[in-house]
Homo-oligomer: A and B are copies of this chain.
Amino acid sequence: MTQELATLLVSCPDRRGIVAALAQVLSGYGANILDSNQHSDPLAGQFFQRLRFDMSELQSDRATLERAVEEVATRFGMRYRLLYASRPKRVAIFVSKYDHCLYDLLLRHQAGELHCELALIVSNHPDLEKVAKQFGVPFHLSLKDAQNKADAEQREIALLDDHAVDLVVLARYMQVLGPDFVGHFDGRVINIHHSFLPAFVGGKPYHQAYERGVKLIGATAHYATKTLDEGPIIEQDVVRSSHRDSIDDLIRKGRDLEKVVLARAVRWHLDDRVLVYSNKTVVFD
């Protein structure tokens, strides 16, 4: 029999009985829990859980289950998300001129690694339209300058809402998004920063790394927030560098890093593995 998978992501103030209450409500309505992971932050007093379950033998309709979950959530003061695998997320990729992260995401999607629909590609440059065409994804050119930026972002918000976009991936998008945009998609914009944050915040981090003579370079995928480069970190990785590496070598090594770090963060988000609190993340990997 085919499974009908769903995921429940929960965070709330920690107190006794939460695990049992959630297990009971799901189990009581005939959901079969396949996977359950939990975390508590004793300093923050917060509780986090991810439950993945099969609803194919549910003894009620979804609406009834949803009301029951809502009731538990209210009782424990939970923030939660209940997500059905039958409704994959819709993704918009924002790019400028660098193509490595875009190609990487398109190829991973083609290989079945990313559980999502690629709704559209948005760019402030026409250069990558041909790549979008190769992979059959709609391309929208959205030119911006200092004057029209606020208006352009309002049009982009409308465009994404029209396309029912759930997640925005900034795949080396070289424009800072304003607070309205980031606020509208709060917790749903993933950026790749080409450095090991919080080292080398800001521009040209590979040049900064070369100047400082570091022995490792890194990349950081994080949720975008109103404060540039300071959103919750989802994933980071590094690669060794040495005195033999020119700035071009660092950029080349960095491209490989950026691709894998961004792809991991996007996949975890699409699989509903990431919870945000206190400007950091719990990743149930």
Contacts and interface: CB of A to CB of B under 8 A. Distances in A.
Contacts of A200: 198
A107 B111 contact: no
A38 B41 contact: no
Given A19-B27, A26-B20, A38 B40 contact: no
A64 interface: no
A84 interface: no
Interface string A231-262: 01111111000111010000010011000100
A108 to B, nearest CB: 9
A150 interface: no
Contacts of A236: 214-216
26 contacts: A19-B36, A20-B23, A20-B27, A20-B28, A20-B33, A24-B24, A33-B38, A34-B40, A35-B40, A36-B36, A37-B38, A42-B246, A111-B252, A113-B252, A134-B134, A196-B199, A198-B199, A198-B212, A212-B233, A213-B281, A214-B236, A215-B235, A215-B283, A216-B218, A218-B238, A242-B283
Top 3 closest A-B pairs, CB basis?
A: A213-B280, A20-B27, A199-B199
